[in-house]
Amino acid sequence: MKEININIRVEHYQLDELNTADRELVERALEATNGAYAPYSNFYVGAALRLADGTIVTGANQENAAFPSGTCAERTAIFAAQANYPDQSVSTLAIAARNTGGLLDEPVSPCGACRQVILGVEDRYKKPIRVLLYGKKGVYSLQSAKDLLPFSFVDDSMK
């Protein structure tokens, strides 16, 4: 037997410790929660991503009575960016969430489907996507989508 250890580095910041660009992206993700349509779960997620050219694209989760016809905030933002700026890679993605009690204390992490999509975009452009996960108690910063999904399935996996 061989043991494999996987180490993932997660940096923990207070919002005011982030640089200006990262703080702006988190704030845009927080604002994006207002565009969420979540009458069933009452869980409002916002995402904001920065493209290589500096453009910011936001998204919010959208629920539908015919589950699973809705979509998550992260995929909304990523698909909008890919449709409108197909030549631009994503450099950073920020995610924030709130419920009926307000913003969450702990950082929220993307679901498995969103992790796969983020990883696919990272693989498409061969550039890591930094991920910022917001919570009132702090912001987690990960250097790559691979940190969210260490055993990844990408195009090379099918060769």
Q: Which residues make beta-bridge pairs with 13? A: 139
Q: What is the pLDDT of residues 94-139, one digit of tens each?
A: 999 999 999 999 999 999 999 999 999 999 999 999 999 999 999 9
The pLDDT, as a whole number, for residue 68 is 81
The pLDDT, as a whole number, for residue 158 is 67
Give the residue numbers annotated as catalytic, written as ranges.
74
Binding-site positions: 72, 111, 114
Domain extents in the chain: 11-149
Binding-site positions for Zn(2+): 72, 111, 114
Cα–Cα distances in angstroms (integers) from residue 48 to residues 26, 85, 156, 157, in the given order: 7, 15, 28, 29
Among the CATH numbers 3.30.70.20, 2.115.10.20, 1.10.3720.10, 3.40.140.10, which is that of 11-149?
A: 3.40.140.10
pTM of this structure: 0.94
